[in-house]
């Protein structure tokens, strides 16, 4: 991964202390889009994700708080069901267009 190439990550967090939560929430909000409560989608460079991790590490209480980050490979299988709070044109290419046959194959996983 180059330093200018952007990659997608999912960040989810559970912070016990309200003051720490507010600080962490403000920081993560600068980097990504909220998908759900305390779950964010980031489209960032390697330098940006490293900076974010460093910032978060300095704020959390490792005995009480939990922050998880997941890299989303470019050619991975993703599914979205129902209404999304993130419009398709906000992060183009996140949910790649699929043929009907591909959608049918994926739907079979949930039936």
| Residues tagged in the binding site annotation for Mg(2+) | 14
Between β-strands 66-72 and 7-14, what pairing exists: parallel, antiparallel or unpaired? antiparallel
> Which positions make up the binding site?
14
CA atoms of 18 and 44, how far apart (whole Å): 27
- Could you tell me how far CA 39 lies from the centroid of its own chain? 7
Q: At what angle do helices 18-31 and 46-59 cross, to 10 degrees?
A: 170
Backbone φ and ψ of 40, nearest 5°:
-125, 150
């Amino acid at each position: 991964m180059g330093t200018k190439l952007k990659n997608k990550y999912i960040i989810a967090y559970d912070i016990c202390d309200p003051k720490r939560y507010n600080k962490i929430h403000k920081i993560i909000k600068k980097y990504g889009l909220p998908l759900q409560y305390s779950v964010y989608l980031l489209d960032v460079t390697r330098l940006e994700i490293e900076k974010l991790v460093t910032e978060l590490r300095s704020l959390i209480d490792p005995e009480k708080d939990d922050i998880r980050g997941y890299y989303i490979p470019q050619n991975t299988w993703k599914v979205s069901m129902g209404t999304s709070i993130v419009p398709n044109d906000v992060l183009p290419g996140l949910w790649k267009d699929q043929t009907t046959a591909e959608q049918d194959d994926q739907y079979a996983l949930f039936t």
